[in-house]
């Protein structure tokens, strides 16, 4: 993390409304802190304000604040940023304070909060505090509840964090462009009672999606459905950090969705309960066990479980294309097609040509050249070889000896003897197979050999 003490110096200084600053009683703006890397930063316990248990933002950080006459003040800077999706690929995005998504804002129920928002984008913007109860004029909808924040200006939002829960923030100004470029962040309001809803590990991250042509650096902002990079906090596997926990820990994972589609988020090895939405905490009597929860567009889901079983457990979106990186939608399916002959002829013209897809889609072991600033579709190595994943995929690492508060990666799990799947070399029994292809599932009553005829009526009679 770096400071921005010289942020307002020089010819490009940001203009701030002195009337706005005097109205909120601030002698000066709080320092705009900037993050310059994509590591997971574990925040310290709060030094000022009411006590709370901080969350851990996967591949992100929590925004520092200052106390000013009992008001918790933050400074967000909306600006162009460069985000590393994974080593080997960087993307030009728009975000906050040096990153996309922006830093997580953490406050306590009942806090009066003041957020200075400085616009360094080339167009106007705003910030909507998704899910919050606040004065209408602080809701951040350009044209409806406020004018847009012009480039080079700073606006102030101020309200009381009325209820505990998990929320998001994003623009309500030129949303198609600004959200497609990565403008979003998380907000957590902790309960006044620090023991209420307490857990041992508390992770947060946002789901986001981008359409970035292989070899390019900037997302297409007009894409509606065909995205090719699906991310946890604008990181793709294997660039996503793991979630290390101690065996026996009570773990909470809060997932917010600001993509254009739903995401069934699935955890291996454990069952969990949905304990919170962006509407609030779910009553204990209404919870039930799941291993997958669907997070719809604009929603947040908080899941909780006890990390009972040690191991390296996959955690991912269960839409299979969402666990891939920049793939092509127009590649034909060639499974079962023998095209060795044509491949030999093509190789005489294109020496690097290789047969793909005739035996399946696996790309493990292929050393295929790819464009600059592009990642393989499926990559990442585990202790037994290629993991063949990308996109929205990471690993929950449960260890008996992981110290409390230790979020360092413990390495690969060492399986006890006899607990890993292995090759069978003995005699196999003859497998049973069904040969009638389900023909007897719906037999016609007393007429097993009925021939059906279908007649399409003419006109609209008997339609």
Highest mean pLDDT among 99-103, 374-378, 381-385: 99-103
Q: Which residues contact 83 (CB under 8 A, 6 or more apart)?
A: 38, 90, 91, 93, 95, 99, 100, 182, 234
Q: Half-sphere exposure (CA, 13 Å, Cβ side) for 256? A: 27
| The pairing of beta strand 292-295 with beta strand 263-267 | antiparallel
Query: Largest Cα–Cα distance in the chain?
Result: 91
Least confident of 296-300, 342-346, 417-421: 342-346
Q: How confident is the model at residue 283 (pLDDT cuts 50, 70, 90)?
A: very high
Least confident of 12-26, 151-165, 297-311: 12-26
Q: Is the pLDDT of residue 29 over 80?
A: yes
Q: Give the chain's end-to-end CA distance (angstroms, integer).
A: 68
Q: How confident is the model at residue 10 (pLDDT cuts 50, 70, 90)?
A: very low
**Helical spans, DSSP H, in 249-399:** 340-349
Which pLDDT score is estimated for 28? 83
Can you tell me the distance from the alpha carbon of 277 to that of 249, in angstroms, rounded to the nearest whole number?
22
Mean pLDDT (whole number) for 281-296: 95
User: Greater confidence, 300 or 451?
Assistant: 300
Q: Is the pLDDT of residue 21 over 50?
A: no
Which pLDDT score is estimated for 35? 94
Q: What mean pLDDT, rounded, does the chain reach?
A: 86
Which pLDDT score is estimated for 17? 35
- Percent share of the chain, pLDDT over 70: 80
Which pLDDT score is estimated for 13? 31
- Percent share of the chain, pLDDT over 90: 69
Mean pLDDT (whole number) for 61-88: 96
pLDDT tens, position by position, 117-142: 999 999 999 999 999 999 999 999 99
Mean pLDDT (whole number) for 208-233: 90
Ramachandran angles phi, psi of 20, nearest 5°: -65, -40
Q: Is the pLDDT of residue 5 over 60?
A: no
Q: Which residues contact 127 (CB under 8 A, 6 or more apart)?
A: 76, 78, 115, 117, 140, 157, 169, 170, 171
Strand partners, 166: 188
What letter does residue 232 receive in the DSSP assignment?
E
Can you tell me the distance from the alpha carbon of 371 to that of 391, in angstroms, rounded to the nearest whole number?
18
Omega of the bond leading into 101 within 30 degrees of 0 (cis): yes
| The pairing of beta strand 112-119 with beta strand 71-86 | parallel
Which pLDDT score is estimated for 372? 85
Quote the pTM value: 0.84
Place of tokens 């009526």: 457
Burial of 220 (0-12, 13-18, 19+ CB in 10 A): middle
Which pLDDT score is estimated for 296? 96
Q: Are 313 and 268 within 8 A, CB to CB? A: yes
């Amino acid at each position: 993390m770096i400071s921005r003490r010289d942020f307002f110096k020089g010819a490009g200084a940001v203009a701030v409304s002195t009337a706005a600053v005097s109205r909120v009683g601030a002698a000066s703006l709080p320092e705009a802190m900037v993050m310059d890397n994509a590591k997971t930063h574990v925040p310290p316990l709060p030094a000022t304000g009411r006590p709370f248990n901080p969350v851990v933002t996967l591949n992100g950080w929590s925004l520092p604040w200052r106390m000013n006459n009992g008001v918790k003040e933050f400074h967000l800077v909306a600006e162009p940023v460069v985000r590393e999706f994974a080593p080997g690929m960087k993307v030009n995005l728009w975000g906050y304070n040096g990153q996309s998504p922006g830093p997580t804002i953490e406050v306590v129920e009942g806090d009066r909060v003041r957020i200075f928002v400085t616009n360094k984008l080339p167009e106007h913007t705003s910030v909507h505090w998704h899910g919050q109860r606040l004065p209408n004029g602080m809701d951040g909808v350009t044209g409806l509840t406020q004018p847009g924040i012009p480039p080079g200006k700073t606006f102030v939002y101020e309200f009381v964090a009325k209820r505990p829960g998990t929320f998001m923030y994003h623009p309500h100004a030129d949303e198609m462009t600004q959200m497609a470029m990565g403008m979003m962040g998380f907000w957590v309001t902790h309960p006044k009672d620090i023991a209420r809803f307490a857990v041992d590990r508390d992770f947060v991250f946002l789901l986001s999606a981008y359409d970035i042509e292989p070899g390019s650096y900037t997302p297409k902002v007009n894409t509606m459905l065909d995205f090719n990079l699906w991310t946890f906090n604008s990181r793709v596997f294997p660039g996503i950090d793991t979630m290390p926990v101690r065996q026996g820990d009570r773990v909470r994972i809060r997932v917010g969705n600001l993509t254009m589609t739903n995401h069934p988020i699935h955890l291996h090895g454990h069952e969990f309960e949905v304990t919170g939405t962006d509407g609030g905490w779910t009553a204990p009597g209404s919870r039930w066990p799941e291993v997958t929860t669907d997070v719809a567009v604009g929603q947040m889901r908080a899941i909780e479980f006890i990390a009972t079983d040690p191991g390296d457990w996959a955690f991912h979106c269960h839409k299979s294309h969402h666990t891939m990186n920049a793939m092509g939608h127009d590649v034909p399916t060639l499974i079962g097609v023998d095209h060795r002959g044509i491949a030999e002829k093509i190789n005489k013209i294109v020496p690097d040509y290789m047969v793909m897809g005739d035996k399946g889609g696996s790309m493990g072991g292929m050393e295929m050249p790819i464009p600059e600033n592009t990642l393989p579709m499926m990559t990442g190595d585990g202790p037994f070889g290629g993991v063949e994943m990308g996109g929205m995929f990471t690993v929950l690492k449960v260890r008996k000896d992981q110290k409390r508060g230790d979020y360092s990666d413990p390495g690969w799990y060492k399986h006890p003897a006899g607990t890993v799947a292995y090759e069978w070399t003995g005699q196999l029994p003859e497998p049973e197979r069904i040969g009638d292809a389900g023909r007897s599932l719906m037999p016609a009553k007393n007429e097993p050999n009925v021939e059906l005829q279908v007649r399409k009526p003419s006109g609209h009679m008997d339609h």
